[in-house]
């Protein structure tokens, strides 16, 4: 455990030295300041009809209207946070396999499993710290300017982070296999932007193309081996924000299982791989 913590610390320091942390911080700060400017110039509460009771309980008109104002920014924040996280961490996984770096670590009493586990944990911690800063900052601004404290918004930190972890499993696996950050990064982008949203609408696709059993089998196969990132957003995060409840836990369970499988395979390959 001590070795893993040491490598986590090294990973964070490397992220700082590579200016990854700084870039994250600057972009997040600019985003927060942008929200501060918008809410200070355009009071959101003035857009609510005066006859709407100020009831902040989930599902009430007041709650739905104010939370609705947050939806577009939250979608933008989610996308921005995920894209930045994927870009920032892809290189951290593959850089540890570079000749010289890996030799330095393995010359110490550190196993390959500990090395990669510490690298993974350090990368995830870096992303979590930045998401905490970004989302909490925006939540505070919105809450202070509107007087409306939607505590469910803070849970978006968890769901965005969980979505990233689902993609991160693929980044790690492809990074270990190819020793390049590009395949994992591009695969993660494709899944998040195109793959998962399309697969979530598979039933509509079946009807539209009059799919036969073979086509349905192929699409269903991809549905179960691709992280349901779109489902985490549409069935977990957004319903919780708007109504205070989760529609389905399936995306969380399926994506969590895939994460463990991908990381398990990656660690197995890394342990056996010639570097």
pLDDT confidence tier of residue 257, bands split at 50, 70 and 90 = very high
| C-alpha to C-alpha distances, 38 to 25, 29, 73, nearest whole angstrom | 20, 14, 11
- pTM, 2 dp: 0.85
Q: Do residues 231 and 251 touch, judged by C-beta distance below 8 A?
A: yes
Does position 101 have pLDDT exceeding 70, yes or no? Answer: no
Does position 154 have pLDDT exceeding 80, yes or no? Answer: yes
Average pLDDT over residues 144-152: 77
Does position 221 have pLDDT exceeding 70, yes or no? Answer: yes
Decide which of 128 and 111 is more confident: 128
Q: Which of 22-26, 78-82, 141-145 is least confident?
A: 78-82
Of 174, 159, 160, the C-alpha closest to 82 is 160
Does position 266 have pLDDT exceeding 80, yes or no? Answer: yes
Decide which of 248 and 84 is more confident: 248
pLDDT confidence tier of residue 141, bands split at 50, 70 and 90 = confident
Decide which of 241 and 194 is more confident: 194
Non-local (6+) Cβ contacts of 37 within 8 A are: none
Q: Do residues 112 and 66 touch, judged by C-beta distance below 8 A?
A: no
pLDDT confidence tier of residue 256, bands split at 50, 70 and 90 = very high
Non-local (6+) Cβ contacts of 103 within 8 A are: none
pLDDT at residue 245 in the model: 83
List pLDDT tens digits, range 32-62. Answer: 888 888 777 777 666 676 766 666 666 677 7
Range of the domain at 232: 2-272
Q: Do residues 32 and 138 touch, judged by C-beta distance below 8 A?
A: yes
Q: Which of 84-93, 242-251, 259-268 is least confident?
A: 84-93
pLDDT at residue 46 in the model: 67
Q: Do residues 215 and 225 touch, judged by C-beta distance below 8 A?
A: no
On average, the pLDDT of the chain sits at 82
**Using CA atoms, how far apart are residues 158 and 61, in angstroms rounded to an integer?**
26
Q: How many domains would you assign to the chain?
A: 1
Our CA angle for 39, 242, 35, nearest 5°, is 15
């Amino acid at each position: 455990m001590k070795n893993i913590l040491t490598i986590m610390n090294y990973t964070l320091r490397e992220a700082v030295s590579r200016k990854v942390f700084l870039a994250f911080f600057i972009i997040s700060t600019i985003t927060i300041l942008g929200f501060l400017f918008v809410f200070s110039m355009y009071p959101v509460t003035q857009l609510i009809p005066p006859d709407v009771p100020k009831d902040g309980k989930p599902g009430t008109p007041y709650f739905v209207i104010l939370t609705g104002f947050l939806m577009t920014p939250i979608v933008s924040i989610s996308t921005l946070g995920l894209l930045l996280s994927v870009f920032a961490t892809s290189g951290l996984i593959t850089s540890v396999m570079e000749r010289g770096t890996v030799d330095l670590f393995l010359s110490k009493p550190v196993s390959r499993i500990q090395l990669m586990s510490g690298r993974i944990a350090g990368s995830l911690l870096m992303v979590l710290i930045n998401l905490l800063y970004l989302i909490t900052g925006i939540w505070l601004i919105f809450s202070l300017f509107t007087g409306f404290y939607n505590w469910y918004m803070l849970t978006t930190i968890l769901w965005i982070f969980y979505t990233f972890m689902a993609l991160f499993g693929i980044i790690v696996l492809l990074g270990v296999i190819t020793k390049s950050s590009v395949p994992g990064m591009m695969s993660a982008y494709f899944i998040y932007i195109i793959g998962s949203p399309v697969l979530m609408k598979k039933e509509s696709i079946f009807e539209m193309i009059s799919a036969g059993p073979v086509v349905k089998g192929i699409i269903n196969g991809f549905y179960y081996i691709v992280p349901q990132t779109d489902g985490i957003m549409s069935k977990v995060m957004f319903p919780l924000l708007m109504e205070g409840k989760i529609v389905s836990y399936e995306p969380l369970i399926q994506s969590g299982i895939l994460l463990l499988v991908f990381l398990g395979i990656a660690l197995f390959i890394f342990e056996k791989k010639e570097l």
